[in-house]
Amino acid sequence: GILDVVVDVRRGSPTFGQNFGVELSFENGLQLLVPKGCLHGFLTRVENTVVSYKVDDFYSAEADGAVHWASCGIDWGLDGTPVLSDKDEVAPAFDAFDSPFVWEAA
C-alpha cells in the first residue's frame, strides 16, 4: 500500500498549507480524489507497488512542479531515508513554492 497525501496550495484558502493523508491499499480498496490547487505525494509502504492515477488534462512539463517532501509538515512515518526521483530530490522547500492557484469561495 501507500500513504497518499495532499497539501492545499490555493492562495487565500482557509486551509492553505494544511495536509491530509490516507493509507491506500488493495485490501482497503480506498481511492483519493486530489482537487485542483493541491499538491499530491505518496510514499510506498510495500516493495513493487504500482500507483495509477488520472488527471484532468494532458501532461504539460511547464505545469509540472514539486515541493521538497520534508518541507510540508507531513508525518511520513519514515524510519530511514526515502528513495526519491531526481525531480523530488532537488525540489524547493514549501515556503519557496510560488503557487499559481487561488482559492475561490463557493
Cα 40 from Cα 35, distance rounded (Å) = 9
Say how far apart CA 32 and CA 54 lie, in whole Å: 11
pLDDT tens for each residue of 29-83: 999 999 999 999 999 988 889 998 888 899 888 888 899 999 999 999 998 889 9
What are the structural domains of the chain? 1-106 (2.60.120.10)
Could you tell me which of 38, 7, 41 has the C-alpha nearest to residue 24?
41
Per DSSP, the three-state class of 16 is coil
Annotated active-site positions, please? 53
Q: What is the pLDDT of residue 33?
A: 94
Model's pTM, two decimal places?
Answer: 0.90
pLDDT interval class at 97 (50, 70, 90): very high
**Averaged pLDDT for residues 2-25:** 97
Query: Would you place residue 90 in the very low, low, confident or very high pLDDT band (cuts 50, 70, 90)?
Result: very high
